[in-house]
Each structure stands twice: as structure tokens, then as C-alpha cells.
Structure 1
Amino acid sequence: MAESPKHSAVPRFSLVEEIKKRWFLLSIVIVIAFAKIYPPLGAKHGPLRPEYTVKYIAVSLIFFNSGLSLKSEELKRALGQVRLHLFIQSFTLLFIPVLIFILTHILEPIHIMSPVYLKGLQVVGCMPPPVSSAVILTKAVGGNEAAAIFNSAAGSFIGIVVTPILLLIFVGTSSSVPFLSIFTKLSMTVLVPLILGQISRNYVKNWLEEKKPPFGTISSCILLLIIYTTFCDTFKKTDSDFSIRSVVSVAILVVLTQLLLVGLAAFLSSFVSDFNRKDRIAVFFCSTHKSLTLGIPILKIVFVDSPDLSSFTLPLLIYHPTQILLGSSLVSMLQSWVQGEETSTTNDDRPIV
């Protein structure tokens, strides 16, 4: 008796699951909406006192959390690939800022959008790589995960010093804060908490490995508070221009810029004979991704009291989800590409089945 054909299970759409996956992106929209409804709550000198609670406590907590969660012992695996590291760091912290500087100066005379948003795009170009997203996507594809971990972590450390310099060179600052003061504040609220987090990790390493605290969620929640207070300051100003048209035009420009950067990273890395496909996956993600977690706190320090702070952050807020969505959409295709190299290397002259 013939068996009835088995129907393959069709995955059903679950709104709850989708919200869980996208909770951070949805939360960004929600906190910006709340900032618009009643900006005095989170604005400077308001009830939340962000000039103290955010500027010092929240920012320090983010970087202490990063230091506590960062597995520095894993970085040793990739130390020998010097050319790969130099390529990634040069691309993200030198090539991209210069390229975007050229692009924004070409676009400025065309008047396609306000110059302040073009400066915001330049701000994105000056940002260091993120600690998490590039590593997660590199691992998902089957790329050089150790190199991704090393470059994301190293880029974050380097970015603490290099990013403020790049911002002052390419964007400038309307603030009267002197250069030395900026780096003093960065050291106290970024570098010191990061180092303290790494030191603390050595004492609670076993507990962390066993309990696996939600470091990413903790940092994301603190970051939402920073985003909220930043936009409260913006909406409190009656002259702020933050229209739907502005958001859409910035989003289009950010997406096109990211596609250009991804294409250039893939193209230029193909000329380096030392890089295999796994290495190029690390290049693909690490050299084009930019950190929101590191970026916004640094902007809050470098552009303190600037009326354009939120306009500067808008392109970065759009770039962050775009890099994740674009990278996620390419995972399947890139997996096949990486596996193709492994199959041909393993089988040598044997036919590929």
C-alpha cells in the first residue's frame, strides 16, 4: 500500500518572533517618537539630566560592558595575518573617510540635501568597525572568524583614538571644546572603562562562560537611552528640520554608499593573492561595517553642545540596520562561494558531484 506523500512543513510567519528579531530597530523608532512627543524630559538640564547620567555614566557603562564581554584570548589566533589586518584597518579608517570626503564635496554643489546630512555621511565614514555584527556575519558565512574577531576588536580600540581625529579633520566641530579636553573625556569615559572591563573579566571569566550574560542586550538598552536623549535635544530646538523627506533622502544616499563600499571592498581584495575566500569574507564585512555602539558616545563627546548633533547621527542610525540587512541577505550566496573553494581544494582532480 503506497504511503501518502508527506507535505513539507511551510514555516509560518510569527509576528512575535519577528518583533524579537527586530526589537532593537523597532525600539530606535519608538524612542525617537517619544523624544518627539515630549522632548524636555530627556533634553539637557531636563529631569533625566543627560549631561551627567548619559555623558558620564551611560557611556562608561557601555564600554565597561564591552571590555567585560570581549574575549581577548581569541584574538591571538589571527595575529600572524598582518597583511589582512592592514588591508581591513586601512580600508575602514583611511580609504572610506577619504572616499566619502570626495563624494560629499561632489554632491554638495548639486544641493540634493542639506549639507549637515552630508556631514553626517562623513561622520559614518570616520566610524570604527563594530565588535559584533561583522563577526556574526563572517561566522554565519564560514569566513575567517578569528580575523574578523581580531579586526573588530582592534578596530574598536584604534577607533577610540583615530575616530575623533578623523572627525576633527573631515567634519570639524562647532564646539569650543579643545582637542586635549576631547581626548581626556574619551580616556575617562571610553578607554578606562574598557580596560577595567577587561581586567574584571579575568576574575569572573568562568562565571561569564557559565552564565553567559546578555551583554549585547545590555549595551543596546543603554544605547537606546543615549539615542533618546540625543533626539530630545534636537526636537527641543524649534529650528530643527527633521522631515520625512530628509529621512528618506538620507536613507537612499546611505544605502547607495554602502553598496559602493561593499563592491569596492570585494573588488580591491581580489587583487591580493594571499587572501583566500574565507579571508575575503572577513574583509567584506569588517572593512565596510561601522559601529553605532562606539560611534554615538564618541559623537556625544566630540560634538558636545553642537546643534547639529542629531543630524550627524541620522546617517549612522540608518547605516547600522542597513549593514545588517544587506549582510544577512547575502549570507546564503556567500556560503556557496566559500564552500566552492573548499570543495575544489579538497577534491583536487576529482570531479565535483
Structure 2
Amino acid sequence: MKHRITPLRFIQKNWLLVGILICILLAGIYPELGSKEGPLRTEYTVKYGAVFLIFFISGLSLKTEAIFHTFQRHKLHSFIQIFTFIFIPIFTQAFIRIVSIFRVNVWILKGLITVACMPPPVSSAVILTRAAQGNETAAIFNSILGSFLGIIITPLLLLFNLGSTTVVPLLDTVIQLLTTVVIPLVLGQGIIKFTSFRGHTLPLNAVSQCALLFVIYTTFCDTFLVPESGMSALDVIFTVFSVLILQVILMFLSFKFASSMKKHFDAQDIIAIVFCSTHKSLTLGIPILRIMFHGYSHLSQISLPLLVYHPTQIILGGLMVSQLKDWVHSQRVKRPPV
């Protein structure tokens, strides 16, 4: 007998998605509250509060042996980084050649290429992987690795694809990764190793997802406050649809490619691959765009695809978490006993 899906049951199963939609609604009503330099001081409360908390909880939750084992998964890391920095830029070049026949604003097309060259973010992919019961350790490692690689690779990709380059703020990026990712992870691991605290009675997963919702809320607040000067409604509509189609295709391809390599990747690895290999960083991307195109009258058009890509990847991820979690469970049931 099948259980009837009640609204309460749906919310319980998909509460992260419901939370994301509520965050979007609240951000649209009063975006100034959660914007940078707004009353919530998100330049500090997000970076050194919510993101720090997310990775501190990860440090409390991960087994040290699993971390060292994951570090040695060279094929897994290579797949994610190659998909991120090689496959996506090549595929996006082919994608914009197709959509350019519709005489789209050339600066928006340049913005799509710029997005393709960006490294992964360090928070959303990790939390979505954890929420879908994927390989969280692999997600953390590859988010950090991708961010460091992006310091070198992203300017080279921009030079190759656009004929222009920039200098990524190396010191600022390294300090940010250390203070918001590495240090909280080490603190969490230190507490597990040197104290009796294990956190089994605390809702750590729910707390980390609430921290992610705060990050999402502030992201949308900033997005809603971006001026749309120089853009027609058609430009905005095309950007939203093209980014959505591009992301769906990339997530589908990463899932299919990884699933075809079941000899090397299990279901949890594939979840980490789907999120880590297709997500792009807004935090590093916006400063790069402002350095590259400072003084350009077309900066808003170039920035629009990245501003759309970041929240879209979170919404798509929220939509997929419940289905991917069910898929992981189904794969465990199918797995033959050792």
C-alpha cells in the first residue's frame, strides 16, 4: 500500500528545496537586509560565520581515516577537475556557437564563456553533496583543490578563450580558503580526535543546511540588487534559459560519464562528481570580472550569466537532492554482498 504524499510529508522530504524557495521570496521582498554592507553585515556573517560553521560541522562529522583514503582517490579527483576546467569550457564554446544563430547579445555570450572558466565554489557543492548522502569528503577536497587550481588555470582559460587575462588576487584567495575552509575543518577534526565529543545527539546536518540557506538568502539579496542597466528584457530571459539549459546538460553529462565508470566510482562518488564538477564560484568570479572588464560599459551584460548561474545551480541542486538520495539508497540495495 502506497503512502499518500501529504503537504507535510513533502516538506519533510524536500525541506532544503522549500527553504531555498522561501529564501528567494524573502530576498525578493527586502533584498537590502541581506546584501553586502547591509544590516546583517553579510561580508562577515557569511564568510566567517555561515561558511566557517559549514566546514566546522564537516570536520566534526568526517572520519579521519576516510579523509586520508579520499586524498588517494586520484581518478576521482582527476575526473572532477578535468570536467571542470577542460570539458566545460570546450562544451560551452560549442554551446554558444549554436545559440549565437539567434543573434544573442555578444557580451552575454562572452559572459557564458567566462562562467565556464571559473573554479568550483567551496560551500554549496559540499552541502548539496552531503544532503544527497554523497561523498562529502571528496566534495570538500575537490572544492578546495579546484579553488587553488583556479588561481592559475582560470586566467589561462580566459586568455585562451577570450584573448584577455587578469591577475587573480592570490593572497586574498589563499587567506579566505584557509580561514573559512581549512581552519574550521582542522578544528572539527581536532575536537573529534582529542575530546570525547562526537555530536551524535546534535542535529549537525540540519544546522549546516540552515547555514547554507543563509548563504543562499544573501546571494539572492545581492542578485536582486544588481542594476540591469544596458540590458533588454530579452537579454535577461535568454540568459536565464541558456544558463538553465547549459546546467541541466552539464549535470546530465557528468552523471552519465561517471555512471559509465562504475569500476572506479560508486554511487556516493557520482553524487560528489555531479555537484563539484558543474558548480561555479560566484565569490571568485565577480572580482575577476570586475578586474578584467573595469570601465567597460558592458560589464553588466558580461556579469549577468554568472549572477544567474550561481543561484540556478543551487535551485537545481535543491530539486535533485531528494531524488539523488533515493538513487543512492537504491544502489546500496542492488549492491551484492561482499
Mark yes or no: TM-score above 0.5. Answer: yes
Quick one: distance in 1 between partners of 2:165 and 2:127? 34
Q: How far did 1:94 drift?
A: 1.9
Q: From the superposition, tell whether residues 291 and 131 of structure 1 become closer, same or farther in structure 2 (CA, over 3 Å).
A: farther
- Superposed CA deviations along residues 59-108 of structure 1, whole A, max 9, x for unmatched, are 2323322332122651413534666x212211111233211111122233
Tell me, yes or no, if the aligned pair for 1:131 and 1:291 is still in contact at 8 Å.
no
Residue identity matched to 1:296:
L
Which range moves more in the overlay, 19-28 or 97-106? 19-28
Unaligned 5+ residue runs, structure 1?
A: 1-6, 140-147, 347-353
How many residues of Structure 1 are paired with residues of Structure 2 in the alignment?
311
Residue identity matched to 1:74:
K
Q: From the superposition, tell whether residues 215 and 126 of structure 1 become closer, same or farther in structure 2 (CA, over 3 Å).
A: closer
> What secondary structure sits across from 1:162 in the alignment?
helix
- Superposed CA deviations along residues 175-226 of structure 1, whole A, max 9, x for unmatched, are 99743xx122123333123344245544597385554451321242134223
Unaligned 5+ residue runs, structure 2?
A: 294-298
Residue identity matched to 2:229:
T
Tell me, yes or no, if the aligned pair for 2:121 and 2:147 is still in contact at 8 Å.
no
Q: From the superposition, tell whether residues 240 and 61 of structure 1 become closer, same or farther in structure 2 (CA, over 3 Å).
A: farther
Quick one: distance in 2 between partners of 1:228 and 1:338? 39
Instruction: Please identify the structure whose Cα radius of gyration is greater.
Output: 1
Residue identity matched to 1:102:
I
Query: Which of 301, 313, 329 is residue 323 of structure 2 equivalent to?
Result: 329
Residue of structure 2 equivalent to 1:318: 312
Q: How far did 1:263 drift?
A: 0.8
Is 1:153 aligned with 2:146? no
Query: Which of 173, 178, 183 is residue 170 of structure 2 equivalent to?
Result: 183
Q: How far did 1:229 drift?
A: 2.0
Q: TM-score, normalised by structure 1?
A: 0.70
Q: How far did 1:26 drift?
A: 0.8
Is 1:341 aligned with 2:335? yes
Residue of structure 2 equivalent to 1:249: 242
Residue of structure 1 equivalent to 2:65: 76
> What secondary structure sits across from 1:100 in the alignment?
helix
Q: How far did 1:138 drift?
A: 3.8
Is 1:289 aligned with 2:275? yes
Quick one: distance in 1 between partners of 2:241 and 2:21? 17
Residue identity matched to 1:151:
A
Cα RMSD of the aligned pairs, angstroms, is 4.0
Residue of structure 2 equivalent to 1:239: 230
Residue identity matched to 2:140:
A
Q: How far did 1:295 drift?
A: 2.6
- Superposed CA deviations along residues 267-325 of structure 1, whole A, max 9, x for unmatched, are 2x24x4xx4xxx42133111121399993333344444663434313123222332443
> What secondary structure sits across from 1:133 in the alignment?
helix
Residue of structure 2 equivalent to 1:4: none
Quick one: distance in 2 between partners of 1:333 and 1:58? 32
Quick one: distance in 1 between partners of 2:67 and 2:323? 27
Quick one: distance in 2 between partners of 1:231 and 1:171? 27
Is 1:162 aligned with 2:149? yes
Q: How far did 1:334 drift?
A: 5.1
User: What is the percentage of aligned positions where both structures have the same residue?
Assistant: 12
Q: TM-score, normalised by structure 2?
A: 0.73
